[in-house]
Amino acid sequence: MGCAPMGHILYDEVMNYNPKNPYWFNRDRFVLSAGHGCMLQDALLHLAGYDSVKTRSNSVNGEAKLLGHPENFETPGIEVTTGPLGQGVANAVGLALAERHLVSRFNKPDNEIIDHYTYVMFWDGCQMEGIANEACSLAGHGA
């Protein structure tokens, strides 16, 4: 399955989020590790109802909310800024480890406060970077 259908299925059928409240604490997180593919994330956010790409046509002026890579301080719905290959995987591992820590600290058998997940999409270029391999080896110990 290609990345576009997989991304659509994540946003359409799997992930919990609220475009009207993009910073809702218990939202699922989506990290696009190969940030240069942000046009995919533009489309996914637009289809999900986020107001993220309305200034896309102004990108020549540098006024767009999304330029060459996703930037989380510029665009609602972007969880982390990703640039170099492998950086997003490391960010996603950090988010997932933080979730596991919060679950172990605050969730009780009869009261589940933390109930969100992190999804990361990354490609072969990311897998060839040392930072991605190191982050993935750490992820295996975080459960």
Q: In terms of CATH, what superfamily is 3-139?
A: Thiamin diphosphate (ThDP)-binding fold, Pyr/PP domains (3.40.50.970)
Q: What is the pLDDT of residue 39?
A: 83
How far apart are the C-alpha atoms of 114 and 7, rounded to whole Å? 23
Residue 52 exposed, middle or buried by CB count within 10 Å (0-12, 13-18, 19+): buried
Q: What is the pLDDT of residue 143?
A: 52
pLDDT values of the chain reduced to their tens digit, one per residue, 143 residues:
667 889 999 999 999 999 999 999 999 999 998 888 888 888 899 899 987 665 444 455 556 555 677 778 878 898 998 878 888 999 999 999 999 999 999 999 999 999 999 999 988 888 888 888 899 888 877 55
Q: What is the DSSP letter of 111?
A: B
Helix (H, G, I), strand (E, B) or coil at 110: coil
Q: Provide CB contacts within 8 A for 111, sequence distance 6+.
A: none
Q: What sections of the chain are H helices per DSSP?
A: 3-9, 38-48, 87-106, 124-127, 130-139
Q: What is the pLDDT of residue 57?
A: 47
